[in-house]
Structure 1
Amino acid sequence: MQPTLEEIDSLLLPLAPVLAKEADAILDLRELLMSKGHPGKCVRCFFQLFTAAGKDVLPRLAPLKAWMEANLEISVNADGRPLETLPVKLRQGEDLESFCLRSIKQVRFDRGYVAKRVNMAFRYKVAA
């Protein structure tokens, strides 16, 4: 489901005063959410904000974090067929690289897929 302009602004406007140096990332994320742009770019913008935020700013990121976890997932595919989806769970103190490595390890070591190549990609959750 595409968020409304009011929802997007309620997620991002509280961040503008405290993350002014990250204005480009905030504006990029706003545009991505308004246009239902590439979900991987949304995650990248989120981590740019998350990494720049100090401990005092993290509570202001909580609504955006909750929205991302509720609306994005990781699709796992092999040989042109879907295998599973993983929830997007964003952890405090984690950067984008750590998040991706954790997700890859989960699929690589916790699963027994026999495909030579397993693809993972962020996507918006599919409405039931």
Structure 2
Amino acid sequence: MQPAAHEIDGLLLPLAPVLAKEADAILDLRELLMSKGHPGKCVRCFFQLFTAAGSVAMPQMAPLIAWLEANLEIAVRADGRMLESLPVKLGEDEDLEAFCIRSIEKVRFDRGFTARRVNLAFRYKAAA
């Protein structure tokens, strides 16, 4: 089910005054969220905003962080089968690269998967 426009606008409109220079990223994220576009692109847009915001806009970012964490997850697959899903925890890393490295290390060092190649990908959570 597609999110309602008023729900997405409620998340993003508070960012506009404090992140005016990032208007393109806000609009890109709005379009992605409204259409349930590629979840990895949503996370990339989020980190573009998060990095630009710094600590100044953290109160305005909190609802967006909560929404993304509630609606996205990381799918862990190997050999054509689903192994597990990890929660998306935003706001703990300074940028997308640090987030990805933390997620990869969690799977690599905290799990005992025997597959030679394990793939991680963002996805929307299935409706309950």
TM-score of the aligned structures, taking structure 2 as reference length: 0.96
2:70 is the alignment partner of 1:70: yes
User: SS of the counterpart of 1:17?
Assistant: helix
| Equivalences for residues 77-88 of structure 1 within 5 A | 77-88=77-88
Unpaired runs of at least 5, structure 1:
none
The aligned residue for residue 4 of structure 1 is 4
1:92 Cα shift?
Answer: 4.1
Structure 1, residues 43-70: CA drift from partner, whole Å, max 9, x if none?
A: 0000000000032211000000000000
How much is the aligned-residue C-alpha RMSD, in angstroms?
Answer: 1.0
User: SS of the counterpart of 1:48?
Assistant: helix
The aligned residue for residue 61 of structure 1 is 61
User: SS of the counterpart of 2:14?
Assistant: helix
Query: Which 4+ stretches in 1 moved above 4 angstroms?
Result: none
Q: What fraction of aligned residue pairs are identical, expressed as a percent?
A: 78
The aligned residue for residue 95 of structure 1 is 95
User: SS of the counterpart of 1:16?
Assistant: helix
The aligned residue for residue 127 of structure 2 is 127
Q: Distance in 2 between matches of 1:100 and 1:92?
A: 11
Aligned residues: 128
Q: Distance in 2 between matches of 1:82 and 1:24?
A: 35
Unpaired runs of at least 5, structure 2:
none
TM-score of the aligned structures, taking structure 1 as reference length: 0.96
Q: Distance in 2 between matches of 1:109 and 1:17?
A: 41
The structure-2 alpha-carbon separation of the partners of 1:80 and 1:92, relative to structure 1 and needing over 3 Å to count, comes to: closer
